[in-house]
Structure 1
Protein backbone atom coordinates (compact mmCIF):
# COMPACT_ATOMS: atom_id res chain seq x y z
CA UNK A 1 0.00 0.00 0.00
CA UNK A 2 1.48 3.36 -1.03
CA UNK A 3 2.13 6.00 1.60
CA UNK A 4 0.79 9.40 0.83
CA UNK A 5 3.37 12.12 0.44
CA UNK A 6 2.51 15.02 2.77
CA UNK A 7 1.59 18.14 0.96
CA UNK A 8 3.73 21.18 1.64
CA UNK A 9 2.29 23.65 4.07
CA UNK A 10 1.38 26.61 1.97
CA UNK A 11 -0.30 28.59 4.65
CA UNK A 12 0.75 32.14 5.13
CA UNK A 13 -0.04 35.15 7.23
CA UNK A 14 -0.98 38.47 5.69
CA UNK A 15 0.06 41.66 7.37
CA UNK A 16 -2.02 44.63 6.23
CA UNK A 17 -1.13 48.25 6.83
CA UNK A 18 -4.10 50.60 6.27
CA UNK A 19 -2.96 54.23 5.99
CA UNK A 20 -5.19 57.26 6.54
CA UNK A 21 -6.64 59.46 3.95
CA UNK A 22 -7.76 56.67 1.71
CA UNK A 23 -4.33 55.78 0.48
CA UNK A 24 -3.57 52.31 -0.84
CA UNK A 25 -3.50 49.48 1.64
CA UNK A 26 -0.04 47.99 2.12
CA UNK A 27 -0.11 44.20 2.32
CA UNK A 28 2.68 41.76 3.28
CA UNK A 29 2.26 38.00 2.99
CA UNK A 30 4.48 35.89 5.21
CA UNK A 31 4.53 32.13 4.66
CA UNK A 32 4.08 29.98 7.77
CA UNK A 33 7.40 28.25 7.05
CA UNK A 34 9.21 31.58 7.23
CA UNK A 35 7.59 32.29 10.59
CA UNK A 36 8.55 28.84 11.87
CA UNK A 37 12.14 29.17 10.67
CA UNK A 38 12.38 32.68 12.08
CA UNK A 39 11.00 31.51 15.44
CA UNK A 40 13.43 28.59 15.47
CA UNK A 41 16.32 30.92 14.62
CA UNK A 42 15.29 33.34 17.32
CA UNK A 43 15.07 30.48 19.83
CA UNK A 44 18.52 29.32 18.91
CA UNK A 45 19.83 32.87 19.19
CA UNK A 46 18.20 33.25 22.58
CA UNK A 47 19.75 30.00 23.74
CA UNK A 48 23.17 31.06 22.48
CA UNK A 49 22.75 34.49 24.02
CA UNK A 50 21.69 32.99 27.34
CA UNK A 51 24.67 30.63 27.30
CA UNK A 52 26.98 33.49 26.43
CA UNK A 53 25.54 35.60 29.23
CA UNK A 54 25.88 32.75 31.73
CA UNK A 55 29.45 32.04 30.63
CA UNK A 56 30.30 35.75 30.81
CA UNK A 57 28.86 35.99 34.30
CA UNK A 58 30.77 32.87 35.36
CA UNK A 59 34.00 34.19 33.87
CA UNK A 60 33.40 37.60 35.45
CA UNK A 61 32.81 36.01 38.87
CA UNK A 62 35.89 33.84 38.43
CA UNK A 63 37.96 36.87 37.42
CA UNK A 64 36.67 38.81 40.42
CA UNK A 65 37.51 35.88 42.71
CA UNK A 66 40.96 35.54 41.15
CA UNK A 67 41.56 39.26 41.58
CA UNK A 68 40.47 39.07 45.21
CA UNK A 69 42.72 36.06 45.83
CA UNK A 70 45.60 37.81 44.07
CA UNK A 71 45.09 40.89 46.23
CA UNK A 72 45.03 38.73 49.34
CA UNK A 73 48.15 36.84 48.22
CA UNK A 74 49.94 40.13 47.62
CA UNK A 75 48.97 41.32 51.07
CA UNK A 76 50.17 38.04 52.60
CA UNK A 77 53.37 38.23 50.56
CA UNK A 78 54.02 41.80 51.67
CA UNK A 79 53.34 40.81 55.27
CA UNK A 80 55.67 37.83 54.99
CA UNK A 81 58.37 40.03 53.49
CA UNK A 82 58.00 42.44 56.42
CA UNK A 83 58.10 39.52 58.86
CA UNK A 84 61.21 38.12 57.17
CA UNK A 85 62.89 41.50 57.42
CA UNK A 86 61.99 41.76 61.11
CA UNK A 87 63.12 38.17 61.68
CA UNK A 88 66.41 38.88 59.94
CA UNK A 89 66.93 41.96 62.12
CA UNK A 90 66.05 40.02 65.27
CA UNK A 91 68.40 37.22 64.22
CA UNK A 92 71.19 39.71 63.62
CA UNK A 93 70.57 41.23 67.05
CA UNK A 94 70.64 37.74 68.54
CA UNK A 95 73.97 37.11 66.82
CA UNK A 96 75.32 40.30 68.41
CA UNK A 97 74.06 39.09 71.80
CA UNK A 98 75.86 35.78 71.25
CA UNK A 99 79.04 37.68 70.39
CA UNK A 100 78.79 39.60 73.67
CA UNK A 101 78.18 36.35 75.55
CA UNK A 102 81.25 34.87 73.88
CA UNK A 103 83.32 37.85 75.01
CA UNK A 104 81.86 37.60 78.52
CA UNK A 105 82.68 33.89 78.56
CA UNK A 106 86.27 34.67 77.62
CA UNK A 107 86.58 37.42 80.23
CA UNK A 108 85.16 35.21 82.97
CA UNK A 109 87.54 32.39 82.08
CA UNK A 110 90.49 34.77 82.27
CA UNK A 111 89.25 35.98 85.67
CA UNK A 112 88.88 32.41 86.95
CA UNK A 113 91.95 30.81 85.39
CA UNK A 114 94.21 33.77 84.82
CA UNK A 115 94.15 33.09 81.09
CA UNK A 116 91.66 32.15 78.42
CA UNK A 117 90.89 28.42 78.34
CA UNK A 118 92.03 26.75 75.15
CA UNK A 119 88.72 24.95 74.68
CA UNK A 120 86.72 28.16 74.62
CA UNK A 121 84.79 28.25 71.34
CA UNK A 122 83.40 31.07 69.24
CA UNK A 123 80.28 31.20 67.12
CA UNK A 124 81.55 34.45 65.57
CA UNK A 125 84.34 36.95 66.31
CA UNK A 126 83.51 39.69 68.77
CA UNK A 127 82.57 42.96 67.14
CA UNK A 128 84.91 45.84 67.84
CA UNK A 129 83.12 48.86 69.26
CA UNK A 130 85.61 51.46 68.01
CA UNK A 131 85.27 50.56 64.31
CA UNK A 132 82.20 50.59 62.08
CA UNK A 133 83.50 49.70 58.62
CA UNK A 134 80.97 47.55 56.76
CA UNK A 135 80.23 46.70 53.12
CA UNK A 136 79.23 44.13 50.55
CA UNK A 137 76.23 43.77 48.23
CA UNK A 138 72.78 43.99 49.75
CA UNK A 139 71.23 40.53 49.88
CA UNK A 140 67.67 40.07 51.04
CA UNK A 141 67.24 37.29 53.59
CA UNK A 142 65.35 34.16 52.69
CA UNK A 143 63.64 31.63 54.92
CA UNK A 144 66.25 28.91 54.34
CA UNK A 145 69.12 31.17 55.36
CA UNK A 146 67.27 32.38 58.44
CA UNK A 147 66.30 28.84 59.42
CA UNK A 148 69.91 27.71 59.13
CA UNK A 149 71.14 30.69 61.13
CA UNK A 150 68.55 30.11 63.85
CA UNK A 151 69.71 26.48 64.13
CA UNK A 152 73.32 27.63 64.45
CA UNK A 153 72.41 30.21 67.08
CA UNK A 154 70.36 27.64 68.99
CA UNK A 155 73.30 25.23 69.05
CA UNK A 156 75.67 28.05 70.03
CA UNK A 157 73.30 29.14 72.82
CA UNK A 158 73.23 25.59 74.24
CA UNK A 159 77.01 25.40 74.10
CA UNK A 160 77.38 28.84 75.68
CA UNK A 161 74.92 27.93 78.46
CA UNK A 162 76.98 24.84 79.27
CA UNK A 163 80.18 26.88 79.23
CA UNK A 164 78.79 29.62 81.47
CA UNK A 165 77.37 26.99 83.83
CA UNK A 166 80.84 25.47 84.11
CA UNK A 167 82.33 28.91 84.73
CA UNK A 168 79.70 29.56 87.39
CA UNK A 169 80.64 26.32 89.12
CA UNK A 170 84.33 27.19 88.84
CA UNK A 171 83.73 30.66 90.31
CA UNK A 172 81.64 29.22 93.13
CA UNK A 173 84.35 26.67 93.87
CA UNK A 174 87.05 29.34 93.73
CA UNK A 175 85.05 31.64 96.00
CA UNK A 176 84.59 28.80 98.46
CA UNK A 177 88.33 28.16 98.46
CA UNK A 178 89.08 31.87 98.83
CA UNK A 179 86.56 32.21 101.64
CA UNK A 180 88.32 29.53 103.71
CA UNK A 181 91.85 30.62 102.75
CA UNK A 182 93.44 33.26 105.03
CA UNK A 183 93.95 36.29 102.82
CA UNK A 184 93.45 39.50 104.81
CA UNK A 185 95.29 41.21 107.66
CA UNK A 186 93.82 40.29 111.05
CA UNK A 187 94.15 43.87 112.33
CA UNK A 188 95.41 47.29 111.36
CA UNK A 189 98.70 48.39 112.83
CA UNK A 190 102.46 48.06 112.55
CA UNK A 191 104.28 44.78 112.06
CA UNK A 192 106.72 44.61 114.98
CA UNK A 193 107.91 41.04 114.52
CA UNK A 194 107.98 38.82 111.46
CA UNK A 195 107.93 35.06 110.90
CA UNK A 196 111.16 33.14 111.55
CA UNK A 197 114.27 33.71 113.61
CA UNK A 198 114.47 37.01 115.48
CA UNK A 199 116.26 38.67 118.36
CA UNK A 200 114.39 37.46 121.43
CA UNK A 201 112.38 40.24 123.11
CA UNK A 202 113.20 38.50 126.39
CA UNK A 203 116.96 38.68 125.84
CA UNK A 204 119.39 35.81 125.55
CA UNK A 205 119.97 35.70 121.80
CA UNK A 206 117.58 34.55 119.09
CA UNK A 207 114.34 32.61 119.15
CA UNK A 208 111.96 31.12 116.60
CA UNK A 209 108.86 33.18 116.00
CA UNK A 210 106.07 31.06 114.38
CA UNK A 211 103.91 34.01 113.28
CA UNK A 212 103.81 37.79 112.93
CA UNK A 213 103.10 40.46 115.54
CA UNK A 214 100.92 43.46 114.64
CA UNK A 215 100.87 46.29 117.18
CA UNK A 216 98.21 48.96 117.56
CA UNK A 217 96.03 50.62 120.20
CA UNK A 218 94.55 48.63 123.05
CA UNK A 219 91.12 47.26 122.07
CA UNK A 220 91.74 47.38 118.30
CA UNK A 221 89.38 44.84 116.64
CA UNK A 222 90.95 41.57 115.48
CA UNK A 223 89.26 39.90 112.50
CA UNK A 224 89.10 36.34 111.20
CA UNK A 225 91.23 36.13 108.07
CA UNK A 226 88.99 33.44 106.52
CA UNK A 227 85.74 31.58 107.08
CA UNK A 228 85.98 28.81 109.63
CA UNK A 229 84.92 27.27 112.95
CA UNK A 230 86.29 28.35 116.33
CA UNK A 231 88.07 25.41 117.95
CA UNK A 232 89.57 27.27 120.94
CA UNK A 233 88.67 30.51 122.70
CA UNK A 234 90.40 30.64 126.07
CA UNK A 235 93.57 31.39 127.96
CA UNK A 236 96.41 29.34 126.46
CA UNK A 237 99.75 29.67 128.24
CA UNK A 238 102.09 32.27 126.76
CA UNK A 239 99.46 33.19 124.13
CA UNK A 240 97.23 34.66 126.86
CA UNK A 241 93.68 35.02 125.60
CA UNK A 242 93.76 33.11 122.34
CA UNK A 243 91.31 32.33 119.53
CA UNK A 244 91.95 29.38 117.24
CA UNK A 245 89.95 28.91 114.02
CA UNK A 246 89.87 25.82 111.82
CA UNK A 247 89.36 26.73 108.14
CA UNK A 248 89.37 23.19 106.77
CA UNK A 249 91.86 21.66 104.33
CA UNK A 250 94.34 21.43 107.22
CA UNK A 251 94.55 25.25 107.66
CA UNK A 252 94.30 26.77 111.16
CA UNK A 253 94.82 30.39 112.26
CA UNK A 254 95.69 31.61 115.77
CA UNK A 255 95.14 35.06 117.31
CA UNK A 256 96.95 35.59 120.64
CA UNK A 257 97.52 38.10 123.47
CA UNK A 258 93.92 39.40 123.15
CA UNK A 259 92.41 41.67 125.74
CA UNK A 260 89.08 39.93 125.19
CA UNK A 261 87.80 37.16 122.96
CA UNK A 262 84.54 37.86 121.07
CA UNK A 263 83.65 34.33 119.90
CA UNK A 264 83.07 30.92 121.46
CA UNK A 265 84.10 27.37 120.63
CA UNK A 266 82.00 25.80 117.86
CA UNK A 267 80.95 29.16 116.46
CA UNK A 268 81.17 29.57 112.67
CA UNK A 269 82.79 32.85 111.67
CA UNK A 270 83.11 34.68 108.36
CA UNK A 271 86.14 36.36 106.85
CA UNK A 272 86.41 39.89 108.29
CA UNK A 273 84.27 39.11 111.36
CA UNK A 274 85.61 40.46 114.67
CA UNK A 275 86.79 37.55 116.83
CA UNK A 276 88.77 39.38 119.55
CA UNK A 277 90.21 42.71 120.67
CA UNK A 278 93.90 43.60 120.85
CA UNK A 279 95.61 43.41 124.21
CA UNK A 280 98.83 42.29 125.91
CA UNK A 281 97.90 39.13 127.79
CA UNK A 282 100.29 36.19 128.21
CA UNK A 283 103.97 36.60 127.37
CA UNK A 284 103.83 40.04 125.77
CA UNK A 285 105.88 43.21 125.89
CA UNK A 286 103.05 45.46 124.71
CA UNK A 287 99.69 45.71 123.00
CA UNK A 288 99.64 43.63 119.82
CA UNK A 289 98.12 40.54 118.20
CA UNK A 290 100.22 37.45 117.55
CA UNK A 291 98.94 35.91 114.31
CA UNK A 292 99.81 32.39 113.16
CA UNK A 293 98.88 30.25 110.18
CA UNK A 294 99.35 26.50 110.52
CA UNK A 295 99.03 24.00 107.66
CA UNK A 296 98.60 20.40 108.78
CA UNK A 297 99.99 21.36 112.20
CA UNK A 298 103.09 23.17 110.90
CA UNK A 299 103.47 26.93 111.27
CA UNK A 300 104.01 28.67 107.92
CA UNK A 301 104.78 32.26 107.02
CA UNK A 302 101.48 34.21 107.19
CA UNK A 303 102.86 36.79 104.77
CA UNK A 304 102.41 34.34 101.90
CA UNK A 305 98.65 34.45 102.56
CA UNK A 306 98.25 38.17 103.21
CA UNK A 307 97.05 40.56 100.50
Structure 2
Protein backbone atom coordinates (compact mmCIF):
# COMPACT_ATOMS: atom_id res chain seq x y z
CA UNK A 1 0.00 0.00 0.00
CA UNK A 2 1.50 3.31 -1.06
CA UNK A 3 0.20 6.80 -0.60
CA UNK A 4 -3.14 5.58 0.73
CA UNK A 5 -3.60 3.26 -2.25
CA UNK A 6 -3.77 -0.49 -2.46
CA UNK A 7 -1.68 -2.29 -5.08
CA UNK A 8 -2.47 -5.87 -6.16
CA UNK A 9 0.41 -7.75 -7.91
CA UNK A 10 -0.63 -10.50 -10.33
CA UNK A 11 1.96 -13.12 -11.35
CA UNK A 12 0.95 -15.89 -13.76
CA UNK A 13 4.29 -17.73 -13.81
CA UNK A 14 8.06 -17.02 -13.65
CA UNK A 15 8.28 -16.14 -17.33
CA UNK A 16 5.25 -13.81 -17.38
CA UNK A 17 5.57 -10.15 -16.53
CA UNK A 18 4.12 -8.91 -13.26
CA UNK A 19 0.86 -7.01 -13.56
CA UNK A 20 -0.22 -4.43 -11.05
CA UNK A 21 -3.68 -3.26 -10.14
CA UNK A 22 -3.79 -0.19 -7.98
CA UNK A 23 -6.88 1.24 -6.31
CA UNK A 24 -7.60 3.79 -3.69
CA UNK A 25 -9.09 2.86 -0.34
CA UNK A 26 -12.37 4.46 -1.28
CA UNK A 27 -12.63 2.53 -4.55
CA UNK A 28 -11.74 -0.68 -2.75
CA UNK A 29 -14.39 -0.06 -0.12
CA UNK A 30 -16.94 0.61 -2.84
CA UNK A 31 -15.94 -2.61 -4.61
CA UNK A 32 -16.14 -4.70 -1.45
CA UNK A 33 -19.45 -3.09 -0.48
CA UNK A 34 -20.89 -3.57 -3.96
CA UNK A 35 -19.75 -7.19 -4.04
CA UNK A 36 -21.28 -7.84 -0.63
CA UNK A 37 -24.54 -6.21 -1.69
CA UNK A 38 -24.56 -8.26 -4.88
CA UNK A 39 -24.02 -11.46 -2.89
CA UNK A 40 -26.82 -10.50 -0.50
CA UNK A 41 -29.12 -9.72 -3.44
CA UNK A 42 -28.27 -13.02 -5.12
CA UNK A 43 -28.85 -14.92 -1.87
CA UNK A 44 -32.19 -13.12 -1.38
CA UNK A 45 -33.24 -13.90 -4.94
CA UNK A 46 -32.27 -17.53 -4.46
CA UNK A 47 -34.22 -17.65 -1.20
CA UNK A 48 -37.28 -16.07 -2.81
CA UNK A 49 -37.08 -18.44 -5.74
CA UNK A 50 -36.67 -21.40 -3.36
CA UNK A 51 -39.56 -20.29 -1.16
CA UNK A 52 -41.74 -19.63 -4.18
CA UNK A 53 -40.84 -23.03 -5.61
CA UNK A 54 -41.64 -24.76 -2.33
CA UNK A 55 -44.90 -22.85 -2.11
CA UNK A 56 -45.70 -23.82 -5.67
CA UNK A 57 -44.95 -27.46 -4.89
CA UNK A 58 -47.12 -27.29 -1.77
CA UNK A 59 -49.90 -25.59 -3.74
CA UNK A 60 -49.68 -28.25 -6.44
CA UNK A 61 -49.77 -30.98 -3.83
CA UNK A 62 -52.76 -29.39 -2.08
CA UNK A 63 -54.54 -28.99 -5.40
CA UNK A 64 -53.93 -32.69 -6.12
CA UNK A 65 -55.13 -33.65 -2.64
CA UNK A 66 -58.24 -31.49 -3.07
CA UNK A 67 -58.93 -33.07 -6.45
CA UNK A 68 -58.47 -36.56 -4.96
CA UNK A 69 -60.71 -35.63 -2.02
CA UNK A 70 -63.32 -34.21 -4.39
CA UNK A 71 -63.28 -37.42 -6.47
CA UNK A 72 -63.54 -39.54 -3.32
CA UNK A 73 -66.53 -37.51 -2.09
CA UNK A 74 -68.17 -37.88 -5.50
CA UNK A 75 -67.57 -41.64 -5.39
CA UNK A 76 -69.06 -41.88 -1.89
CA UNK A 77 -72.05 -39.77 -2.99
CA UNK A 78 -72.66 -42.16 -5.90
CA UNK A 79 -72.60 -45.11 -3.49
CA UNK A 80 -74.97 -43.25 -1.16
CA UNK A 81 -77.36 -42.72 -4.07
CA UNK A 82 -77.20 -46.45 -4.83
CA UNK A 83 -77.91 -47.28 -1.20
CA UNK A 84 -80.88 -44.91 -1.28
CA UNK A 85 -82.31 -46.79 -4.29
CA UNK A 86 -81.87 -50.12 -2.52
CA UNK A 87 -83.55 -48.75 0.60
CA UNK A 88 -86.40 -47.61 -1.64
CA UNK A 89 -86.83 -51.21 -2.81
CA UNK A 90 -86.69 -52.41 0.81
CA UNK A 91 -89.34 -49.84 1.70
CA UNK A 92 -91.70 -51.28 -0.95
CA UNK A 93 -90.97 -54.79 0.34
CA UNK A 94 -91.70 -53.61 3.88
CA UNK A 95 -95.06 -52.20 2.76
CA UNK A 96 -96.02 -55.55 1.21
CA UNK A 97 -94.84 -57.41 4.31
CA UNK A 98 -96.87 -55.14 6.59
CA UNK A 99 -99.91 -55.63 4.37
CA UNK A 100 -99.59 -59.42 4.66
CA UNK A 101 -99.18 -59.04 8.42
CA UNK A 102 -102.34 -56.93 8.66
CA UNK A 103 -100.45 -53.75 9.62
CA UNK A 104 -100.72 -50.25 8.19
CA UNK A 105 -97.87 -49.09 5.94
CA UNK A 106 -95.41 -46.52 7.30
CA UNK A 107 -96.50 -42.97 6.53
CA UNK A 108 -94.28 -41.57 3.71
CA UNK A 109 -93.58 -38.44 5.79
CA UNK A 110 -92.39 -40.57 8.70
CA UNK A 111 -90.16 -42.52 6.31
CA UNK A 112 -88.34 -39.28 5.38
CA UNK A 113 -86.89 -39.21 8.93
CA UNK A 114 -85.88 -35.55 8.55
CA UNK A 115 -84.03 -33.58 11.20
CA UNK A 116 -83.72 -29.91 12.10
CA UNK A 117 -83.91 -27.35 14.88
CA UNK A 118 -81.26 -25.93 17.25
CA UNK A 119 -77.99 -27.78 17.33
CA UNK A 120 -78.26 -28.98 13.76
CA UNK A 121 -74.87 -29.09 12.06
CA UNK A 122 -73.94 -26.98 9.03
CA UNK A 123 -71.09 -26.87 6.46
CA UNK A 124 -69.62 -23.78 8.17
CA UNK A 125 -68.99 -25.77 11.34
CA UNK A 126 -66.76 -28.23 9.49
CA UNK A 127 -63.00 -27.63 9.85
CA UNK A 128 -62.76 -28.09 6.08
CA UNK A 129 -64.74 -24.88 5.53
CA UNK A 130 -61.70 -22.62 6.11
CA UNK A 131 -59.70 -24.65 3.58
CA UNK A 132 -62.25 -25.19 0.82
CA UNK A 133 -65.89 -24.16 1.28
CA UNK A 134 -67.00 -26.10 -1.81
CA UNK A 135 -65.53 -29.35 -0.55
CA UNK A 136 -66.95 -28.62 2.89
CA UNK A 137 -70.45 -28.32 1.42
CA UNK A 138 -70.00 -31.53 -0.57
CA UNK A 139 -68.72 -33.42 2.49
CA UNK A 140 -71.60 -32.07 4.57
CA UNK A 141 -74.15 -33.20 1.96
CA UNK A 142 -72.69 -36.72 1.93
CA UNK A 143 -72.61 -36.89 5.74
CA UNK A 144 -76.21 -35.63 5.93
CA UNK A 145 -77.39 -38.20 3.38
CA UNK A 146 -75.61 -40.99 5.23
CA UNK A 147 -77.26 -39.94 8.50
CA UNK A 148 -80.68 -39.97 6.80
CA UNK A 149 -79.99 -43.41 5.29
CA UNK A 150 -78.84 -44.73 8.66
CA UNK A 151 -82.03 -43.52 10.36
CA UNK A 152 -84.21 -44.81 7.50
CA UNK A 153 -82.49 -48.22 7.63
CA UNK A 154 -83.08 -48.34 11.39
CA UNK A 155 -86.75 -47.45 10.92
CA UNK A 156 -87.19 -50.12 8.22
CA UNK A 157 -85.45 -52.71 10.39
CA UNK A 158 -87.84 -52.00 13.27
CA UNK A 159 -90.81 -52.04 10.89
CA UNK A 160 -89.79 -55.37 9.35
CA UNK A 161 -89.22 -56.87 12.80
CA UNK A 162 -92.71 -55.78 13.82
CA UNK A 163 -94.22 -57.12 10.59
CA UNK A 164 -92.33 -60.41 10.92
CA UNK A 165 -93.49 -60.89 14.51
CA UNK A 166 -97.06 -60.08 13.51
CA UNK A 167 -96.88 -62.37 10.47
CA UNK A 168 -95.48 -65.22 12.55
CA UNK A 169 -98.27 -64.75 15.09
CA UNK A 170 -100.78 -64.56 12.23
CA UNK A 171 -99.34 -67.72 10.70
CA UNK A 172 -99.51 -69.48 14.07
CA UNK A 173 -103.17 -68.43 14.36
CA UNK A 174 -103.92 -69.76 10.88
CA UNK A 175 -102.19 -73.05 11.66
CA UNK A 176 -104.22 -73.29 14.89
CA UNK A 177 -107.60 -72.53 13.30
CA UNK A 178 -109.69 -75.69 12.62
CA UNK A 179 -110.20 -75.10 8.91
CA UNK A 180 -110.83 -78.59 7.47
CA UNK A 181 -113.50 -81.25 7.85
CA UNK A 182 -111.75 -84.02 9.79
CA UNK A 183 -112.87 -86.97 7.68
CA UNK A 184 -114.13 -87.90 4.23
CA UNK A 185 -117.88 -88.43 4.21
CA UNK A 186 -121.29 -86.81 4.01
CA UNK A 187 -122.66 -84.32 6.54
CA UNK A 188 -125.69 -86.16 7.89
CA UNK A 189 -126.64 -83.73 10.65
CA UNK A 190 -125.72 -80.02 10.89
CA UNK A 191 -124.94 -77.80 13.88
CA UNK A 192 -128.15 -76.71 15.57
CA UNK A 193 -129.36 -75.12 18.79
CA UNK A 194 -132.27 -77.55 18.74
CA UNK A 195 -132.81 -80.68 16.63
CA UNK A 196 -134.85 -83.83 16.99
CA UNK A 197 -132.52 -86.43 18.50
CA UNK A 198 -132.97 -89.82 16.75
CA UNK A 199 -132.28 -91.82 19.91
CA UNK A 200 -133.63 -89.60 22.72
CA UNK A 201 -136.71 -88.87 20.57
CA UNK A 202 -136.80 -85.22 21.69
CA UNK A 203 -135.46 -81.79 20.57
CA UNK A 204 -131.91 -81.27 21.87
CA UNK A 205 -129.03 -78.94 20.93
CA UNK A 206 -126.59 -80.43 18.45
CA UNK A 207 -123.27 -78.80 19.29
CA UNK A 208 -121.38 -80.04 16.25
CA UNK A 209 -121.82 -81.70 12.88
CA UNK A 210 -122.19 -85.40 12.10
CA UNK A 211 -120.22 -86.76 9.14
CA UNK A 212 -121.39 -90.17 7.96
CA UNK A 213 -118.45 -92.32 6.86
CA UNK A 214 -117.37 -95.92 6.46
CA UNK A 215 -116.25 -97.70 9.62
CA UNK A 216 -112.50 -97.26 10.12
CA UNK A 217 -112.20 -94.16 7.93
CA UNK A 218 -109.25 -91.99 9.18
CA UNK A 219 -110.09 -88.97 11.34
CA UNK A 220 -107.69 -86.07 10.91
CA UNK A 221 -106.72 -83.23 13.25
CA UNK A 222 -108.47 -80.09 11.97
CA UNK A 223 -105.52 -77.91 13.04
CA UNK A 224 -102.30 -78.13 14.99
CA UNK A 225 -102.67 -78.56 18.72
CA UNK A 226 -102.16 -80.71 21.80
CA UNK A 227 -104.20 -83.76 22.78
CA UNK A 228 -106.04 -82.97 26.03
CA UNK A 229 -108.37 -86.01 26.06
CA UNK A 230 -108.21 -89.47 24.49
CA UNK A 231 -110.82 -91.50 26.36
CA UNK A 232 -114.33 -92.80 26.61
CA UNK A 233 -116.80 -89.98 27.34
CA UNK A 234 -120.56 -90.19 28.05
CA UNK A 235 -122.52 -89.70 24.82
CA UNK A 236 -119.36 -89.33 22.72
CA UNK A 237 -118.09 -92.89 23.14
CA UNK A 238 -114.41 -93.08 22.20
CA UNK A 239 -113.47 -89.39 21.93
CA UNK A 240 -110.39 -87.24 21.24
CA UNK A 241 -110.15 -83.56 22.28
CA UNK A 242 -107.50 -81.16 20.97
CA UNK A 243 -106.49 -77.77 22.37
CA UNK A 244 -105.29 -75.55 19.52
CA UNK A 245 -104.56 -72.40 21.50
CA UNK A 246 -106.11 -68.99 20.81
CA UNK A 247 -109.23 -70.27 22.60
CA UNK A 248 -109.92 -73.04 20.04
CA UNK A 249 -110.70 -76.65 21.05
CA UNK A 250 -112.10 -79.47 18.90
CA UNK A 251 -113.76 -82.75 19.76
CA UNK A 252 -114.00 -85.95 17.70
CA UNK A 253 -116.63 -88.45 18.94
CA UNK A 254 -117.91 -91.97 18.29
CA UNK A 255 -114.47 -93.20 17.15
CA UNK A 256 -113.82 -96.90 16.87
CA UNK A 257 -110.23 -96.36 17.98
CA UNK A 258 -108.03 -93.48 19.24
CA UNK A 259 -104.51 -93.24 17.79
CA UNK A 260 -103.07 -90.47 19.99
CA UNK A 261 -102.31 -90.02 23.68
CA UNK A 262 -102.82 -87.10 26.06
CA UNK A 263 -100.04 -84.49 25.77
CA UNK A 264 -99.14 -85.49 22.21
CA UNK A 265 -98.65 -82.62 19.75
CA UNK A 266 -100.31 -82.95 16.36
CA UNK A 267 -100.46 -80.89 13.18
CA UNK A 268 -103.31 -80.33 10.76
CA UNK A 269 -103.93 -83.53 8.78
CA UNK A 270 -102.42 -85.97 11.32
CA UNK A 271 -104.55 -89.10 11.78
CA UNK A 272 -105.81 -89.10 15.38
CA UNK A 273 -108.59 -91.74 15.33
CA UNK A 274 -110.77 -93.98 13.17
CA UNK A 275 -114.50 -93.55 12.45
CA UNK A 276 -116.80 -95.78 14.51
CA UNK A 277 -120.18 -95.87 16.23
CA UNK A 278 -119.26 -95.97 19.91
CA UNK A 279 -121.34 -94.04 22.41
CA UNK A 280 -124.82 -92.86 21.50
CA UNK A 281 -124.80 -93.51 17.75
CA UNK A 282 -127.05 -95.30 15.28
CA UNK A 283 -124.41 -95.93 12.62
CA UNK A 284 -120.71 -95.22 11.89
CA UNK A 285 -120.08 -91.47 11.76
CA UNK A 286 -117.90 -88.73 13.21
CA UNK A 287 -119.40 -86.21 15.61
CA UNK A 288 -117.17 -83.13 15.21
CA UNK A 289 -117.29 -80.07 17.47
CA UNK A 290 -115.48 -76.73 17.49
CA UNK A 291 -115.47 -74.65 20.66
CA UNK A 292 -114.25 -71.07 21.05
CA UNK A 293 -113.55 -70.08 24.65
CA UNK A 294 -115.45 -73.27 25.64
CA UNK A 295 -118.56 -72.15 23.72
CA UNK A 296 -119.80 -74.48 20.93
CA UNK A 297 -119.84 -72.86 17.46
CA UNK A 298 -120.75 -74.08 13.99
CA UNK A 299 -117.66 -75.91 12.66
CA UNK A 300 -118.62 -75.12 9.06
CA UNK A 301 -118.02 -71.41 9.76
CA UNK A 302 -114.30 -72.20 9.97
CA UNK A 303 -113.96 -74.74 7.17
CA UNK A 304 -112.16 -73.44 4.09
CA UNK A 305 -114.12 -74.37 0.95
CA UNK A 306 -112.81 -77.61 -0.49
CA UNK A 307 -110.61 -78.36 2.53
CA UNK A 308 -111.90 -81.91 3.01
CA UNK A 309 -109.33 -84.73 3.42
TM-score, length-scaled by structure 1? 0.71
CA displacement, residues 24-75 of structure 1 (integer Å, 9 cap, x when unaligned): xx99986541xx4444333233323322332233233323322332232222
Q: 1:13 to 1:120 in 2, by over 3 A?
A: closer
Unpaired stretches in structure 2, ≥5 consecutive residues: 11-16, 113-134, 305-309
- 3-state SS of 2:91 partner: helix
Unpaired stretches in structure 1, ≥5 consecutive residues: 1-7, 17-25, 125-139
Aligned match for 2:59, one of 62, 65, 70: 70
Hey, what does 1:290 align to over in structure 2? 287
Q: Which has the larger radius of gyration?
A: 1
* Separation in 2, partners of 1:29, 1:268: 129
Q: 1:71 to 1:217 in 2, by over 3 A?
A: farther
CA contact (8 A) 1:9 1:32 kept: no
* Separation in 1, partners of 2:80, 2:39: 60
CA displacement, residues 6-36 of structure 1 (integer Å, 9 cap, x when unaligned): xx926575989xxxxxxxxx99986541xx4
* Separation in 2, partners of 1:65, 1:117: 62
1:165 matches 2:153: no
Aligned match for 1:152, one of 148, 153, 157: 148
C-alpha displacement of 1:228? 2.8
Hey, what does 2:111 align to over in structure 1? 123
CA contact (8 A) 2:226 2:244 kept: yes
How many aligned positions are there? 274
C-alpha displacement of 1:259? 3.3
CA displacement, residues 136-189 of structure 1 (integer Å, 9 cap, x when unaligned): xxxx98222222222322333333333333323322333343343323332344
* Separation in 1, partners of 2:181, 2:43: 103
Q: 1:58 to 1:185 in 2, by over 3 A?
A: farther
CA contact (8 A) 1:243 1:254 kept: yes
Hey, what does 1:137 align to over in structure 2? none
* Separation in 1, partners of 2:20, 2:297: 146
CA contact (8 A) 1:221 1:277 kept: yes
Hey, what does 1:89 align to over in structure 2? 78
* Separation in 2, partners of 1:240, 1:120: 60
* Separation in 2, partners of 1:185, 1:178: 15
Aligned match for 1:302, one of 280, 299, 302: 299
CA contact (8 A) 1:225 1:271 kept: yes
1:186 matches 2:174: no
TM-score, length-scaled by structure 2? 0.71
Q: 1:189 to 1:104 in 2, by over 3 A?
A: farther
* Separation in 2, partners of 1:11, 1:64: 46
Q: 1:95 to 1:217 in 2, by over 3 A?
A: farther
CA contact (8 A) 1:107 1:116 kept: no
List aligned pairs for 1:233-252, cutoff 5 A: 233-252=230-249
Q: 1:50 to 1:188 in 2, by over 3 A?
A: farther
Hey, what does 1:98 align to over in structure 2? 87
* Separation in 2, partners of 1:58, 1:11: 37
Q: 1:254 to 1:85 in 2, by over 3 A?
A: same
* Separation in 1, partners of 2:165, 2:107: 17
* Separation in 2, partners of 1:45, 1:228: 113
